[in-house]
Amino acid sequence: MPDRPRVLVTRRIPDAGLSLVSAQAEVDLWSEELPPPRELLLERVRGVDGLLSLLTDRVDAELLDAAGPGLKVVSNYAVGYDNIDVAACRVRGVAVGNTPGVLTETTADLAFALLMAVARRIPKSYDFVREDRWQTWGPMTLLGKDIHGAVLGIIGFGRIGREMARRAQGFGMRTLYFSRTQASPQAEAELAATFTPLDALLAESDFVSLHTALTDETHHLIDAAALSRMKRGAILVNTSRGGVVDQVALAGALRSGDLFGAGLDVTDPEPMRADDPLLALPNCLVVPHIASASERTRDRMAQKAAANLLAGLRGEPLPDPV
Ligand code: DGY
């Protein structure tokens, strides 16, 4: 590795990883709460050997050219890397890394929390109490949907989708899944999950949870047509990427009551503004992309991102290459 290589870290990440990077490299840290504006990012990246990026930074040909030929590695502080033009990195010989594995369970926990919160109308119930509308025990008050015994349809059966299936077992749900490749018979048996074509999954599931990467193929996978195939009264959960869902169509399905509710950790665009039509709907719960946001997981993501960055600077294979 060059003597004290220069790296740009585009936001303050936990010390568990940042300290590893600063022990070995000259760090230019963008320490503001908001991401660096594009012009400043292009300026600050000039001449660096490594870039530790976040999903809020677009790493494309323009940025790679601004960095120049010395750039060896882009280490994304996320498992998703739809913000990175991986082909443009490859052409320039720039290694790309991400942080898989360490956020699997934490993300599935949040997906399940959204599922439960929407099914049992927790946010609305909380408002009900806070707004002093709780007058008595009501036979028809705030009725929701049962989780136990329901059918869960998982779209995208990678690490996180599988953890979702594991959680569903504990709740006595029946699990269907759809993904590009079918899981092994052992995995299917262990997770009690049945491979099901997409249309059938949409038609049979009481809950549909999205765990697929955002690609050209999955952009608006859940559009008006897909929503119309879902069971009336079903619930949609999205912890993948906002672009997988057509939000205008989703608002329509929630407004008409075709869907009982939706729980979204991710939106398109992000951040979602407070005047977004989805936020006016009482059956839509939105949280600000926090699925991996536990203290321990964010530390572990930082360590992984640091390990990728440092390996790339040394010209070694990344522990977690994209
Ligand atoms: C990821 O890692 O891709 C999540 O969206 C944020 O942790």
pLDDT, tens digit (0-9, with 9 covering 90-100), for 211-253: 999 999 999 999 999 999 999 999 999 999 999 999 999 999 9
The residue-averaged pLDDT of 80-86 equals: 98
Q: Which of 11, 52, 79 maximizes ligand 1 atoms within 8 Å of its Cβ, making it the mutation to test the pocket?
A: 79
Q: Are 45 and 67 in contact (CB under 8 A)?
A: yes
The predicted pLDDT at position 2 comes to: 56
**CB-CB neighbours of 215 under 10 Å:** 12
The alpha carbon of 132 and the centre of ligand 1 are apart by a number of angstroms equal to 38
Q: Which residues contact 137 (CB under 8 A, 6 or more apart)?
A: none
pLDDT in tens, 102-150: 999 999 999 999 999 999 999 999 999 999 999 999 999 999 999 999 9
How far is the first Cα of the chain from the last one, in angstroms, to the nearest whole number?
A: 21
80 lines ligand 1 (CB under 6 A): yes
Q: Which residues contact 302 (CB under 8 A, 6 or more apart)?
A: 13, 14, 15, 16, 17, 18, 77
The residue-averaged pLDDT of 287-311 equals: 98
pLDDT in tens, 151-199: 999 999 999 999 999 999 999 999 999 999 999 999 999 999 999 999 9
79 lines ligand 1 (CB under 6 A): yes
The alpha carbon of 45 and the centre of ligand 1 are apart by a number of angstroms equal to 23
| Percentage above 90 pLDDT, the chain | 99
238 lines ligand 1 (CB under 6 A): no
Residue 194 backbone dihedrals phi, psi, to 5 degrees: -115, 125
Residues noted as catalytic: 241, 270, 289
The predicted pLDDT at position 3 comes to: 80
Q: Which amino acid type is present at position 135?
A: Q
The predicted pLDDT at position 1 comes to: 59
In a 13 Å sphere around the CA of 195, the CA atoms on its Cβ side amount to: 11
Q: What residues pair up with 29 in beta bridges, in sequence order?
A: 9
Q: Are 273 and 299 in contact (CB under 8 A)?
A: no
Q: Nearest-CA neighbor of 111 among 163, 182, 157, 159?
A: 163
Q: Which amino acid type is present at position 163?
A: E
The alpha carbon of 21 and the centre of ligand 1 are apart by a number of angstroms equal to 20
Q: What residues pair up with 26 in beta bridges, in sequence order?
A: 6
Q: Could you identify the atom of ligand 1 that is nearest to the CA of residue 78?
A: 2
Q: Are 254 and 283 in contact (CB under 8 A)?
A: yes
Minimal-distance CA residue to ligand 1 atom 3: 80
Residue that is written with structure tokens 């729980």 in the block:
263
Q: Could you identify the atom of ligand 1 that is nearest to the CA of residue 81?
A: 3
The CA-based dihedral angle spanning residues 178, 176, 157, 250, taken in that order and rounded to the nearest 10 degrees: 70
305 lines ligand 1 (CB under 6 A): no
